[in-house]
């Protein structure tokens, strides 16, 4: 279940978010240009979304192990947004904004996937190094 499960979950979550964004942006024939009061840059969105997917994976892993997530979920979300010096509301407004910009959102999602893939590669390399040291 370990890293393969986490990898599959990352890519499933990213694909779902991408499809949702494309579907949402294509369904609005009359678009009103909404710009959030506090606009996050693409780099900020990439960073937040990368951390958000890692956190969601950690919560999912806890649930799959039969552990409760109720005690940590709100705290983790609060810490995530505090770390990025933003709020859930500002993030949600920006997510809506970028969902209406399919080219930008696709770029953001590709970068998030690249970040997660890089992290997975580094984790796999560390695991291999660790296994070599024990043998």
Domain ranges for the chain: 2-27+40-124
**What DSSP element (H or E) covers 52?**
helix 42-64
Q: Model pTM? A: 0.72
pLDDT at 1 over 50: no
Q: Which residues contact residue 97 at a Cβ distance below 8 angstroms, ignoring those fewer than 6 apart?
A: 34, 35, 36, 39
HEC-encoded secondary structure of 54-108: HHHHHHHHHHHCCCCCHHHHHHHHHHHHHHCCCCHHHHHHHHHHHHCCHHHHHHH
Distance (Å, rounded) from C-alpha 135 to C-alpha 118? 26
pLDDT at 90 over 50: yes
pLDDT at position 29 is: 47
- Tell me the pLDDT tens digit for each residue of 38-50: 999 999 999 999 9
Distance (Å, rounded) from C-alpha 99 to C-alpha 97? 5
Distance (Å, rounded) from C-alpha 121 to C-alpha 134? 20
């Amino acid at each position: 279940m370990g890293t393969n499960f986490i990898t599959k979950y990352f890519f499933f979550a990213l694909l779902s978010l991408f499809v949702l964004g494309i579907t949402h942006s294509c369904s609005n024939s009359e678009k009103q240009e909404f710009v959030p009061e506090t606009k996050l840059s693409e780099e900020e969105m990439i960073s937040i979304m990368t951390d958000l997917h890692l956190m969601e994976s950690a919560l999912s892993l806890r649930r799959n192990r039969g552990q409760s997530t109720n005690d940590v979920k709100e705290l983790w979300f609060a810490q995530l947004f505090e770390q990025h010096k933003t709020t859930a509301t500002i993030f949600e407004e920006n997510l809506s904004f970028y969902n209406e910009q399919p080219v930008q959102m696709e770029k953001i999602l590709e970068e998030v996937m690249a970040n997660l893939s890089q992290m997975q590669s580094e984790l796999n390399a560390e695991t291999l190094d660790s296994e070599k040291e024990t043998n």
